[in-house]
Amino acid sequence: MIALLTNDDGIDAKGLEALEGFAAEYFDAVWVVAPAEQMSQIGHQVTTSTPIRFEQKGERSFAVHGTPADCTRVALAQLLPEQPDWILSGINHGGNLGRHDFVISGTVAAVREGAFAGIKGAAFSHFMKRGLELDWECASRWVRKAFESFLSDETTRGDFWNVNLPHPDPGDPEPKVIRCEQEQQSLLVNYEQVSNDEFLYEGDYHERPRREGSDVDVCFGGDIAVSLVSV
């Protein structure tokens, strides 16, 4: 199998390195086409009116001066010699939970772009608790665990997987993979006026509303939330 890897945190992100660690052991060929710079929360923006510059970093590795969706488009149209079997995006530094995150996320958009072309895909994100470091070795292991849980599932064109890894406290049990629906409630959005002509976003991701059994509830509860989603 051939995998295309990308993300929205940039080609040098630790999460992408962890995803590569999993993919290198699982796929016959792994291509990395990722943004040259941080592109978080940029959604499905694409570049159509200006040239997109790219740099080759390795035999199968490219940094693209564009958005995550640009990376998928350029990879499929120009950089890869053949279509990949899977497009994997992440591991995002932070959760992409619920329908609200789903629309905003560049991590998700990169996989969604592939889904438009009928390519299987999965977006991987890692919820982060305040004051706790992420263990990327664990994250790589959990990605494999999640991927193997849906690898053989039959899906239809336009479907893809959204996976959110938990951030357990030291000593917590090994997280389980749980299939769940996306949370439909939106984030609590508010802005503080910090000057005569400026507003500053205020929000507490960790206190977002959630219903029992949703991806937010599963992930915040310490398990791996796996949702089948569609374009």
For residue 77, give both structure tokens: 């149209």
Say yes or no to pLDDT of 11 above 80: yes
Q: Look over the chain and give the mean of its residue pLDDT values, rounded to a whole number.
A: 94
For residue 227, give both structure tokens: 């949702």
> Residues 102, 103, 105, 107: is their CA dihedral positive or negative?
positive
Question: What residues pair up with 126 in beta bridges, in sequence order?
Answer: 93, 165
Number of domains in the chain: 1
Burial of 60 (0-12, 13-18, 19+ CB in 10 A): middle
**Residue 160's pLDDT band (cuts 50, 70, 90):** very high
The 10s digit of each residue's pLDDT in 174-208 is 999 999 999 988 878 889 999 999 999 887 787 88
Q: How far apart are CA 108 and CA 56, in angstroms?
A: 24
Contacts of 203 (CB under 8 A, 6+ apart): 187, 188, 189, 190
Question: What residues pair up with 230 in beta bridges, in sequence order?
Answer: 159
Q: What percent of the chain has pLDDT over 90?
A: 83
Burial of 105 (0-12, 13-18, 19+ CB in 10 A): buried
Instruction: Based on DSSP, count helices (H) and strands (E) in the chain, helices before strands.
Output: 6, 11
Nearest residue to 95 via CA among 202, 187, 212, 230 = 187
Say yes or no to pLDDT of 130 above 80: no
**Residue 120's pLDDT band (cuts 50, 70, 90):** very high
Count of residues in the chain: 231
Contacts of 32 (CB under 8 A, 6+ apart): 4, 5, 6, 11, 16, 20, 57, 58, 60, 61, 62
Provide the 3-class DSSP secondary structure of residue 158: coil
Q: How far apart are CA 110 and CA 152, in angstroms?
A: 22
Q: Which residue has the tokens 């690898």?
A: 151
pLDDT confidence of residue 150: 97
Q: Are 30 and 23 in contact (CB under 8 A)?
A: yes
Contacts of 103 (CB under 8 A, 6+ apart): 43
pTM of the predicted protein model: 0.94
Q: What is the CATH number of the domain that holds 204?
A: 3.40.1210.10
Over residues 147-170, mean pLDDT = 95
